[in-house]
Structure 1
Amino acid sequence: MAGWTVVTGGSRGIGAAVVRRLAASGRDVVVGYRRDREAAEARARDARAADVHAAVLQVDVADPASVDALFDEAESFGPVVGVVANAGAATVTGRLEDVPVEAVRRDLDVLVLGTLLTLRRGVPALRRAGGGAMVAISSGAATLGSPGEFVHYAAAKAAVDTMVLGLGRELAEDGIRVNAVAPGLVETGFHLDPDRPARIAPTVPMRRVGEPHEIAAAVAWLLSADASYTTATTLRVAGGR
């Protein structure tokens, strides 16, 4: 399907891998970012090298006006047929009783409200395009709970799974599919403890850390026509964990 795909948090980590994968498959992409414009511009240059169109737009996904502006500008380029709600936050770790409430609130604003606002605003955009697909990035933490690390993050990702379930069913007759990918332990700069991947890897049945491109492949499949009968579903990509 010709048109643009909006990727929030597209400047680094899983988001950057998604941008690369979508560009390689011929999709025009909007690289949404919050702070690091230089990294976002680099992702857009890489995408253009794959002979697709790419644009860089700043967005604060927890701000409804900012999300509206993102989609308004994206639609000015052409029809938006895909959305990847990838922007995330995990700024505090530890036992829930010890983490500052304001830090938890900031994370939940991005993880829950930000994902909800992105998907919500994506609906009219995709409807105007005649249909399409949206993918939210969840986490294997949603079913593991992440005790002693970030219970609030796990709870937020469980909320994302519920959003996808409800919205996917809500839009099933409208030609708009809504799914999620739940990564497990992945090698990105997202970990507050840089030693965490090596520490957790032995608990993964496949005995290794995942790579961002492995998550991006699942996202690309869910956006593609190959997943035409898949909606309201969370696809776990977690090495068996």
Structure 2
Amino acid sequence: MPNVMIVTGGSRGIGAATAFLGARAGYAVVVNYVSNGAAADKVVAEIEAGGGRAAAVKADVGVEADIVALFEAADRLGTLKVLVNNAGIVDAVAPVAEMTAERLERTFRINVTGSFLCAREAVKRMATSRGGSGGAIVNVSSAAAKLGAGGSRVDYAASKGAIDTFTVGLAREVAGEGISVTAVRPGIIETDIHASGGEPTRVAELSASLPLKRAGTPEEVAQAILWLASDEATYSTGAILDVSGARAILP
């Protein structure tokens, strides 16, 4: 049975880049998506064209039953070795004074609760005390967790701050179970998440003000994810790696 990597939100951006690299590293990749089946199928087709193995699985990480079904689908492919908690959302720019309870509930349900529940299912399968053979969980945080996103999306930043704390806590909890838990903290990356939050030109507008004078690429983040998921990074469990081109360095 092949080793399996689940990439939530794997149909685009950082998720798709991670899926491609995971396939090249020899994993059978589960490309999770919630609405864009065509994009997920395209990722799978490209992986298969390169000789890899992949499957697209529709599941909303904001729905517990969907998460359970996602992991059951992965079980049919092989042995789960890596979970990349990448799925997440941003809402429109708004100050805290104008945020609704519905907006906050949706942001935290998908960005935080979904990651917890995916990790729960992964730990059940990976933990040596449960008959597993270990594995790696890599969470995708954001530089916003350190910068706060004041005046734009404090709710998103707070949800990613929760992911940072979750990463450290879970790493300590399962270190003796053969499971590594780490995170990447991307900065401004060239993906369409900005458009989904109502700012399609954000990367172009910010590039000149960034320390490197450019945004990062999904592939640069994916390379960090694959390293953190590898055996080479076992002793780095609990680490949160900034992939932000120095943007997230605080004074």
TM over 0.5: yes
CA contact (8 A) 2:84 2:140 kept: yes
Deviations 1:72-127 (A, max 9, x none): 12112211011001110112222111233312221211011111111111101223
Task: Please state if 1:153 is matched with 2:156.
Answer: yes
Q: Partner residue of 1:165?
A: 168
The count of aligned residue pairs is: 241
Q: Partner residue of 1:113?
A: 113
Task: Please state if 1:215 is matched with 2:218.
Answer: no
Q: Partner residue of 2:85?
A: 85
- Structure 2 unaligned blocks of 5 or more: none
Task: Please state if 1:8 is matched with 2:8.
Answer: yes
Q: Partner residue of 1:202?
A: 208
Range with greater deviation from structure 2 (52-61 or 196-205): 196-205
Deviation >6 Å, runs of 4+: none
Q: Partner residue of 1:95?
A: 95
Distance 1:155 1:200 in 2: 22
- Structure 1 unaligned blocks of 5 or more: none
Distance 2:136 2:90 in 1: 26
Task: Please state if 1:175 is matched with 2:178.
Answer: yes
CA contact (8 A) 1:40 1:56 kept: yes
| Paired AA for residue 235 in structure 1 | L
Backbone CA RMSD of aligned residues: 1.4
1:2 Cα offset (Å): 4.8
1:135 Cα offset (Å): 0.4
Distance 1:193 1:110 in 2: 20
Task: Please state if 1:142 is matched with 2:145.
Answer: yes
Distance 1:200 1:101 in 2: 30
Distance 1:99 1:163 in 2: 24
| Paired AA for residue 75 in structure 1 | D
Distance 1:90 1:19 in 2: 22
Distance 1:183 1:78 in 2: 30
Percent of pairs with identical residues: 40
CA contact (8 A) 2:28 2:77 kept: no
1:198 Cα offset (Å): 2.1
